[in-house]
Structure 1
Amino acid sequence: MTTPTTELASSHGKHRCSTKAELVLSVEERAALEGWVRRRSTPQSWAVRCRIILACADGMSNKDVGALVGMTGQSVGRWRSRFVEHRIAGLGDLPRSGGPRSVSDEQVAALVKRTLESTPRNATHWSTRAMAKELGLSQSTVSRIWRAFGLQPHRSQTFKLSTDPYFVDKVHDVVGLYMDPPERALVFCVDEKTQIQALVRSQPVLPMMPGVPQRVTHDYVRAGTTTLFAALEVATGKVIGSLHRRHRAEEFKKFLIKLDQEIPADLQVHLILDNYATHKTPAIKSWLIAHPRFQMHFTPTGSSWLNLVERWFAELTNKQIRRGVHKSVHALEKDIRTWIATWNTDPKPYIWTRTADEILERLASYLRRIPDSGD
């Protein structure tokens, strides 16, 4: 039988275990955290941690803060405890055992700010050696702090923003077909993979052995080129392909005729394709007028990522073309046809998950980070 004293002790123990760590910010700490949240160049993960600490300092519960930032209450509690114990440094990697810290919070903040907001006088980006010399720190210290904050000055990525005046309308149109296709209709992603080269390495390929990868010479002999016209059925992942030695509106029209023959006549056909000139010639427009069940949906200029057949082309390149050896165009075309036929025995559709509004919001967030974007 549980005694009142035991009940009280048990209740008191539970209360102590669930008590959240008290978090009080100094004026300097609050200013620093708010600055990180406002700064556009702040890494997203770091900005979220700053928002967590600010919300906790304002008296919000771990559960409410978690709902605010999309995190569990337990995760919020861990960041709260780490900040209480280690202050701003606790928002990076967990401290390791060893001697006392030799780098202050102010030095960490200065290093991160310098990395994000400046470049060295004689280079396009910071290195650990250059930053260490600039701030009087060791290279290993700079490296550890960069890892903690997810900073990689030596890396860059490319991007391209479409200048199509109808970008928004086209995104809604194409994504709408992916996520809510019309009834009694088939949606196809159509494009051409041009200049596929039949290549023969100048010397025999050395096969893979234990501990040694396959080896090929860097130079090769060209044996000709071909063009693959392909239509990826969005619903099933099946592909209709046609190979031609040239890439003109005449060949594209032949491909449309093939689609018309292979697709059941009682179904409407929606084609998603880019703005290439061969897709819009008078001959193609006349053919479309004579075949009203075909409807064209053009992706925005510079937005090939909206066309799912590009993802299928990547599969073909990686698994068949890039390391293939073909002594003639005929051999190359034979392998491509065989690969398409094999694919169609067990096709795998690509599932589009982002709505048009999500895509446009993400684009807007990029534009907000570019000072002269005009957004």
Structure 2
Amino acid sequence: MEDVLEVYTRLYDPRFPQVCMDESAKQLLQDKREPLPMQPGQPERVDYTFEAAGMRKIFLACEPLAGKRFVNVTERRTSEDWAHFIRELVDVEYPDAEKIVLVMDNLSTHTPSALYQTFPPTEARRILRTLEIHDTPVHGSWLNMAEIELSALARQCLSRRIGTQEELEREVHAWQQKRNEEAITVNWRFTTADARIKLKRLYPSLEKKKSPSPTGNVAKHD
């Protein structure tokens, strides 16, 4: 936790962009009956019945200090899909970065070995050399600022019926473009000092346990 919080205190430096990555999913739902189009004095009418058309996975990376985010829609959520997403992040989104400071959840598919399983060793090593990876702790995904962006995406774009992958990609990319044009940043305020106070229960106790003396009094320790 403190490792991730330390990353968030670093100043903006385009040579070392701080990027948070996470993933989500969207259930595709198709209409069973064609909607009735909007007419003068009459809104569009959509039947309440629908049928499931499969799940699609959403990979999202954001740079909170720069107000940038990048989203990809895939059919699966495998280590290979993650590896291709990371290579695009390195080669397309940040080709000039000396090192990408990457914060992400500690999932089994988010590992350096996934790069070697997907690409030749020389290519995997080239990508990995560009990454400075910081995993969030178990049960600590709230430390990943990409969750803030996924929440905004769910509220602003995905909270309605979407039937096909093509429609999903079109809507997600339109949301991404609009949000990037507005350069919406994240002002992270939770610090290590806050954690040591508010989450004190998570830290090991270094106080010596007092043991009773034979007479029943509390023994003193030098």
- Aligned partner of 2:179 among 336, 343, 349: 343
Aligned partners of 2:97 and 2:144: how far apart in 1? 25
Aligned partners of 1:241 and 1:366: how far apart in 2? 34
Aligned partners of 1:250 and 1:269: how far apart in 2? 20
- Residue 185 of structure 1 aligns to a residue whose secondary structure is coil
Structural mapping, 1:101-116, within 5 Å? none
- Residue 278 of structure 1 aligns to a residue whose secondary structure is coil
- Aligned partner of 1:354 among 177, 190, 212: 190
Unaligned runs of 5+ in 2: 39-44, 204-222
Does 1:319 find its partner at 2:156?
A: yes
* One-letter amino acid of the counterpart of residue 53, structure 2: A
Aligned length: 188
Quote the offset at 1:349 in angstroms: 0.8
Instruction: Give the conservation status (yes or no) of the 8 Å contact 2:57–2:75.
Output: yes
Cα RMSD after superposing both structures: 2.8
Quote the offset at 1:293 in angstroms: 2.1
* One-letter amino acid of the counterpart of residue 167, structure 2: A
Q: Report the equivalent of 2:81.
A: 251
Aligned partners of 2:182 and 2:6: how far apart in 1? 26
When Rg is computed on C-alpha atoms for both structures, the one with the higher figure is 1
Summarize deviations over 1:70-113 as a string: whole Å, max 9, x none.
xxxxxxxxxxxxxxxxxxxxxxxxxxxxxxxxxxxxxxxxxxxx
Q: Report the equivalent of 2:114.
A: 283
Q: Report the equivalent of 2:145.
A: 308
Instruction: Give the conservation status (yes or no) of the 8 Å contact 1:185–1:269.
Output: yes
Greater RCO, 1 or 2 (C-alpha within 8 Å, sep 6+)? 2
* One-letter amino acid of the counterpart of residue 363, structure 1: L
Summarize deviations over 1:19-74 as a string: whole Å, max 9, x none.
xxxxxxxxxxxxxxxxxxxxxxxxxxxxxxxxxxxxxxxxxxxxxxxxxxxxxxxx
Q: Report the equivalent of 1:193.
A: 24
- Runs of 4+ residues over 4 Å off in structure 1: 201-205, 285-288
* One-letter amino acid of the counterpart of residue 16, structure 2: A
* One-letter amino acid of the counterpart of residue 171, structure 2: D
- Residue 199 of structure 2 aligns to a residue whose secondary structure is helix
Unaligned runs of 5+ in 1: 1-170, 208-213, 368-375
Larger strand proportion of the pair: 2
- Aligned partner of 2:72 among 242, 250, 260: 242
Summarize deviations over 1:180-234 as a string: whole Å, max 9, x none.
247431000001113x1122355759x9xxxxxx9984x5321222111111012
- Aligned partner of 2:63 among 229, 233, 238: 233
Q: Report the equivalent of 1:363.
A: 199
Instruction: Give the conservation status (yes or no) of the 8 Å contact 2:17–2:97.
Output: no
Structural mapping, 1:202-217, within 5 Å? 217=48
Instruction: Give the conservation status (yes or no) of the 8 Å contact 2:58–2:72.
Output: yes
Aligned partners of 1:365 and 1:277: how far apart in 2? 27
Aligned partners of 2:137 and 2:84: how far apart in 1? 25
Structural mapping, 1:126-141, within 5 Å? none
Q: Report the equivalent of 1:297.
A: 134
- Aligned partner of 2:99 among 264, 268, 282: 268
Instruction: Give the conservation status (yes or no) of the 8 Å contact 1:274–1:298.
Output: yes
Quote the offset at 1:259 in angstroms: 0.9
- TM-score for both structures, normalised by structure 2: 0.74
Instruction: Give the conservation status (yes or no) of the 8 Å contact 1:173–1:297.
Output: yes
Change (3 A) 1:199 1:276: same
